[in-house]
Every structure is written in C-alpha cells, then in structure tokens.
Structure 1
Amino acid sequence: MKIKPLADRVVIKLVEEEETTKGGLILSGSAKEKPQVAEVLAVGPGGMVDGKEVQMIVKVGDKVLTSKYSGTEVKVDGEECTIVRQSDILAVVE
C-alpha cells in the first residue's frame, strides 16, 4: 500500500537514534527521547490551505527536523510513519 498525502501534508519516517550515550551507557526503551530527525517519504501537492496558497518546500528523500509531538502516527505495511503538516517541519537537515 502506498500513502499519497493531501494538501500540505508530508509523510515522514523517524530516523532511529543511537541506543548508547557518549559515555557508552546503553539506554533502555523508556529512557530514550522521541527522535526529531525524520526522512520524507511522500509530499502532498500543496495548494489552497485555510484560504492561503501553500507551496511545498520539502521533497522526498529530505532529512528534516520536526516538532517532538507533532503529526499523526500510522502503520503502513507494518512500517511506522507519521503524517505532519509542512508547517510542523522546523528545518531541512543538510
């Protein structure tokens, strides 16, 4: 199954963080913070959103920083993805 986002929505997949600290300690699942770096999997067409013209800036394959608790988490073919609005994306990581 393939997701095609509508309007200004973007489908992202969170990038896993390292499971050890700089000092070499292994973190348990509850001690880890939710990752904020994600890869863009699909981008909506943009267009009129809430009476304003929205042009999509991000593209598939970009690495982006997102707000910690933004978006809606979904499972597609057993893979966890998040659907966010482009305005919830804080920056593109180069």
Structure 2
Amino acid sequence: MAKRLIPCLNRVLIEKIIPPSKTSAGILLPESTSKLNSGKVVAVGPGHHDREGKLIPVSVKEGDTVLLPEYGGTEVKLDDKEYHLFRDDDILGTLHE
C-alpha cells in the first residue's frame, strides 16, 4: 500500500527533478551542464489563515514545475522515494515551456 502525504497549512510536497547524467547514446554529461534546482509539485496543503481568519491558498498546484532555493526544505522518504517539503513562501517561481 502506497503512502500519500497531504501537507499541512502552506506547505508543498516536491519531487526534485534530477537532470540526466548520460545522454540516450550513453555519453556521460558533466555535472555543471544543468544546475537548475527544480522540482515537480506532488501535493499542496490548503493554505494558511491571515490575522482576520481569511484563508490564503497556496500559490502552486499539483503538477506544476517549480524553481527551488539551493538550500532548505525538509527531506521526506515515502515508499523508497525521496521528496522535499517546502513552505509556499520559499518557492521561487514556476517554470513553463
């Protein structure tokens, strides 16, 4: 049975995107080729309440590709997969093609 984590408040569960270290032809790529720290949003919390009690929703949604800070987040392991929990405020932006 697979576990599913639903983040609390304004937290976001991210699966980091790891750039390939080899091309499809088997050529090894140097680590410095693509150092963009990005991830895919797996789950989001409901948001947090302001001082007046109004709910402020999270600014990203499941499936978004986001730009992450170099450091931060909390590492979480579920069913042998690594994820990271970030606060909505810590996410730098969304990436679009």
TM-score, with length taken from structure 2: 0.76
For the residue of structure 2 that corresponds to 1:27, the secondary structure is: coil
Q: Identity, % of aligned pairs?
A: 34
Greater strand share, 1 or 2? Answer: 1
Residue from 78, 90, 93 that aligns with 2:92: 90
TM-score, with length taken from structure 1: 0.79
Measured in 2, the distance between the counterparts of 1:8 and 1:72 equals: 14
Indicate if the aligned counterparts of 1:40 and 1:61 stay in contact, CA closer than 8 A. Answer: yes
Mind listing any 5+ residue stretches in structure 2 that lack a counterpart? none
Larger Rg: 2
1:18 maps to 20
1:47, CA displacement in angstroms? 2.3
1:87, CA displacement in angstroms? 0.6
For the residue of structure 2 that corresponds to 1:87, the secondary structure is: helix
Q: Which runs of 4+ in 1 moved over 4 A?
A: 31-35
2:37 maps to 36
1:48 maps to 49
